[in-house]
Chains A and B, each alone.
Chain A
Amino acid sequence: MAIVRVDEVSRHYGEGDARVVALDRVSLDIERGDYTAIMGPSGSGKTTLLSILGSMNPPTDGRLLVDDIDVYALSQERQADLRREYIGFVFQQLELIPYLSALENVMLPLAILKESGKRERALDALCRVGLDERKARRLPSELSGGEQGRVAIARAVVNNPPIVLADEPVGSLDQTTGRQILTLLRELADGGHAVIMVTHNPESTAEVDRVIQIRDGRITCDERPEICTLPEEEGEALPVGGVAG
């Protein structure tokens, strides 16, 4: 059974003349171990879809099921709990807290828990992305872009959530470090996490299992990357679940 099920989800912003349809009856399933890229032109609804998947942006219509739980039927506080248990975020611009050390940034999701061994868990997560204890003590500003990306990923997985969401995770990084981060995400998917990433760049999809193309709030292609990462003008012609290639 899919860890994430998006069922006929629509999202409108604003009212009347100012009404924008950011998502229009989108449905999709995502399995554990899937490494998925969401692609599409600017303003197509990628971030909106990701925030709905992240249980922090209630859709106007439709349902989101995470592990068979109807997320937006829960109270706000229960939605927060669900985010903590099920979802790890890697934000655009990484969004590390500048006044906390790398280790403390990774411990953030654990700070509200009343259990011991938080430090060890955070160090372990940092170790898995290739950062040692010496680097862990540094502030984000004292780390390279690639290292900051690793810290952001460690923070996303420290709770061992089944789902990892990433919004343009390599947008701010150079090519080499960007590729390292993408490989780390690949490893997470191989380790059983469902990894969903938003990206503009077709090159970022080299290692993904699946690409979801959206345009004007609709899914225009949902296939293997070789099929869906055609230039956007041509992608227009492809039907959903395109048969070309």
Chain B
Amino acid sequence: MRLSHIAFRNVREHMSRSTLMLLVIAVTVAIVSVLYLVTHSAERDLADKVDAYGANIVVAPQTKDLPLSYGGVTLGDLTYDVQPLRNDDLAKIRSIPNKRNINRVAPVLIEPVDVGGTRLLAAGVDWEQELALKRWWKIAGETPKGESDLLAGSRAARQLGLKPGDPVIFSGGTFRVAGILQPTGTQEDDLLFISLPTAQSVWGRSGELSLIEVSAFCSTCPIEDINAQIAVAIPNARVSALLKAVEGRRLLIDQFRLFSAVLSGLMILVGCLIVFSSTLAGVRDRRGEIGIFRAIGYRRWHIFSIILTENLALAVAGSLLGVAIAAPIAGPLARVVAGVSQVSLPGISNLGLAVAASVGVVLMASLYPAWQASRLSPTLAMREV
């Protein structure tokens, strides 16, 4: 028999008090976990949507003259003397202070080309970044990935009579139509997309870029901050934020997060108070018993550890129960409250964190009662009845 044995027996003996503490711990852990899961899922969902909405920041050269429009964003007129963006600028964007909030950085180089007498715009893109950014693109044929692959906008393809597998010759290069982009209703329908390194070499514009599309997601800072940071990193560029529905939703999630944090804090505080007062009441009820332990030679530390062990056991059991309650509730609640379809369930590490945190908090709340217990006098065992 060890001290923990006495602690466990006592927990069982005082069932009503133990059950109260267990439920308080479980409910607190459950509510805090649910709020966390819903907030976290909403944030994840938003991050996914940011990808789905495409770029929310466009970096373009400073215009000095006649504007050329692309995707609603004004570009420098290509015939004028403009300081172009360069490949190096991509790394600069990736290294701003809020770099962790940058999702995609997609460079584009645009050049007018002549295909068998038809004048069109061609765009050199980084296939991987571009396709990740434009997730709504539907491609008939193969997904382009090679250096000589070409992706034709729907109208451009019709104009030139292209179908997948056809060769296309322009700017002194020969390309193979990998796929045809289904109509998007934007200027993209008129473009011929080729790989960026190939574009830069056939057009003799090594290292140059016309614009950079960026998708950023920042749940804790406004998109304007990221804009400003990019503007500092690339001083010769013009950085514009595209306001999206995402922004309004971000505000909503921010408010929900604040609400969750306040509610969680209050729940934890109330839970602590209940653990504190019922442990203290338990110690008062057991004065005689603790006096006996002291009289038969238990040191103060032994009494202290018996009380802490009891609450430790309740904290572990309570938080596991709380997580078990939270797991099935979080999903439906996230759907109803936050309209989130995909709920990220906690992993083992989050479970461990929840248990560790509640054990820590419960132990903190038990320190004073346990200390009081350890100071009880052994003469209590000899009280007259």
Contacts and interface: CB of A to CB of B under 8 A. Distances in A.
A194 to B, nearest CB: 17
A80 B298 contact: yes
Given A51-B379, A57-B379, A89-B381, A111 B2 contact: yes
Interface string A76-119: 11001111110111011101011110001001111110000011
B9 A95 contact: no
A217 interface: no
Given A97-B292, A110-B1, A111-B5, A76 B300 contact: yes
A203 B289 CA distance: 30
B12 interface: yes
B384 interface: yes
A72 B293 CA distance: 19
Contact of B289 (A51, A56, A82, A97): A97
A167 interface: yes
A111 B2 CA distance: 5
B12 to A, nearest CB: 7
Contacts of A118: 1
Interface string B352-385: 0000000000000000000000000111011011
Given A80-B297, A99-B13, A111 B3 contact: yes
Interface of B: 1-3, 5-6, 9-10, 12-13, 288-289, 292-302, 377-379, 381-382, 384-385
A119 B2 CA distance: 11
Given A50-B382, A51-B382, A95-B288, A112 B302 contact: yes
A95 B1 contact: no
B9 to A, nearest CB: 5
Contact of A112 (B289, B299, B384): B299
11 contacts: A54-B378, A80-B298, A80-B378, A81-B297, A83-B378, A92-B382, A97-B6, A108-B6, A111-B2, A111-B6, A167-B382
A102 B8 CA distance: 17
Contacts of B294: 56, 80
B297 A84 contact: yes
A108 B377 contact: no
A245 to B, nearest CB: 32
Contacts, number: 89
A109 B296 contact: yes
A83 B299 CA distance: 10
Given A83-B296, A83-B297, A108-B293, A47 B382 contact: yes
Contact of B296 (A47, A77, A89, A104): A89
Interface centre among A80, A100, A109, by most chain B C-beta atoms within 10 angstroms, is A80
Q: Which 10 A-B pairs have the closest CB atoms?
A: A84-B297, A99-B13, A56-B378, A83-B297, A107-B1, A109-B296, A80-B299, A111-B1, A77-B299, A99-B9
Contacts of A87: 297
Interface of A: 47, 50-51, 54, 56-57, 76-77, 80-85, 87-89, 91-93, 95, 97-100, 104, 107-112, 118-119, 155, 167
A91 B297 contact: no
A54 B295 CA distance: 8
A51 B291 CA distance: 12
A155 B297 CA distance: 12
Contacts of B297: 80-85, 87, 109, 112
B10 A99 contact: yes
Contact of B299 (A81, A119, A155): A81
Interface centre among B292, B295, B299, by most chain A C-beta atoms within 10 angstroms, is B295
A81 B301 CA distance: 12
Interface centre among B293, B300, B381, by most chain A C-beta atoms within 10 angstroms, is B381
A244 B13 CA distance: 55
Given A80-B300, A107-B1, 17 more contacts: A51-B382, A54-B295, A56-B294, A56-B295, A77-B300, A91-B381, A93-B385, A95-B288, A95-B292, A97-B289, A99-B9, A99-B12, A104-B5, A108-B1, A110-B1, A112-B3, A112-B298
Nearest to A103: B1
Contacts of B288: 95
Contacts of B300: 76-77, 80
A216 to B, nearest CB: 18
